[in-house]
Copies of this chain bind each other. A is one copy, B any other.
Amino acid sequence: MKHEVDLDFYNLYTDLTVESIKNRNVNDIEIKENVIGDIKVTEVEIDEKHSSIIGKKIGRYVTIEFEDITDSFNRDEVKKVFMDELAKFINIKKDELVLIVGLGNELSTPDSLGPMCVDNIEVTNHIYELDLLDEDYQRVCSIKPSVLGRTGIETSIIVSSVVKKIKPKCVIVIDSLASSSIDRLNKTIQITDTGINPGSGIGNKRKEISKETLKVPVYAIGVPTVVSALTIISDTINHIFNENKDNILNKYDEIKTIIDEILKENELDLVVTPTEIDYIMESLSKVISEGINNLFNKTV
């Protein structure tokens, strides 16, 4: 009994709300599921009560789950679903300004999703200002604020400074996330209207970027691209405990101490990522950036 709670301690950080719900064994949240081919779309509204239980902000979370994104057919299917789901979040006139923010470190492959997407986003704001654009194009601008370790400036400060000045109607942030399970790694896109919250993202160093801090709607698009090394170890230990409860559980506290010691010895913030992460990032960034480009600038 006691151990069930303690084990939960090892269900470490996840940026995916659906994982949080599952990890905490919360059963009274309505989860709408919709299956489109091989793609599963999950929608959930987190209210005040559940927010405190699962540690996620109040708001709407849509999760698009898929399998192999490096296959170009799958990619086109996922892109369509992503576009449709993103469209449901965003309610904006063509001449209202959207700021797209690519969070993360473009020099570190698993953390480069945001910058890679922004490199492929069609920006139009400067053309709008010259009155050269026809009305089918959304007014779009973008920034890549890089990361604290590269700039020495908290990312949220750069974003809020620019937002205050250019006054976009809404902000879309794109970020690499951390998952608590290797099953969902690079196979999930989460869209939410809650923005980026303290502790999310790779390295857990982000400060809040949300409607509360920026005073305009903030939509966050994220993909889990890493699992913390601590999580993957705990995950394994949990499995072992579950299978060997009788013999091992009475040594649980000792074991917990050992794991803590092993991991704290190394000051490094270790993450687990697939070796072929470069291909995956190329595919994922295409899906997201082309999805956004198609949504905003109907080329068909």
Contacts and interface: CB of A to CB of B under 8 A. Distances in A.
Given A236-B259, A262-B239, A152 B140 contact: yes
A185 B268 contact: yes
Residue with the highest number of chain B CB atoms closer than 10 Å, among A162, A237, A247, A279:
A162
Interface stretch (A13-21, A47-55, A142-150, A189-197): A142-150
Nearest to A148: B126
A299 B143 contact: no
A276 interface: yes
Interface of A: 72-73, 105, 107-111, 119, 122-127, 140-146, 148-154, 157-158, 160-162, 164-166, 182-183, 185, 202-203, 226, 229, 232-233, 235-237, 239-240, 243-244, 247-248, 250-251, 254-255, 258-259, 262, 265-266, 268-279, 293, 297, 299
A243 B254 contact: yes
Nearest to A163: B161
Contacts of A297: 72
Contacts of A293: 72
A107 B152 contact: no
A72 B141 CA distance: 18
Given A143-B158, A244-B251, A105 B278 contact: yes
B240 A247 contact: no
B164 A152 contact: no
Which residue of A125, A250, A269, A270 has the most chain B CB atoms within 10 A of its CB atom? Answer: A270
A130 to B, nearest CB: 11
A181 to B, nearest CB: 10
Given A161-B161, A233-B232, A275 B111 contact: yes
B279 A275 contact: no
A239 B233 CA distance: 12
B161 A278 contact: no
Interface-centre pick from A153, A203, A297 (highest chain B CB count, 10 A): A153
Contacts of A265: 183
Contact of A203 (B143, B250, B259, B275): B275
B271 A273 contact: yes
Contact of A270 (B144, B154, B255, B272): B272
Given A236-B262, A254-B243, A258-B240, A149 B270 contact: no
Given A72-B299, A258-B239, A278 B108 contact: yes
Contacts of A255: 240, 243-244
A167 B164 CA distance: 16
15 contacts: A72-B293, A107-B119, A123-B149, A124-B152, A143-B145, A143-B153, A143-B158, A144-B144, A149-B279, A203-B275, A232-B270, A236-B262, A240-B259, A270-B275, A272-B272
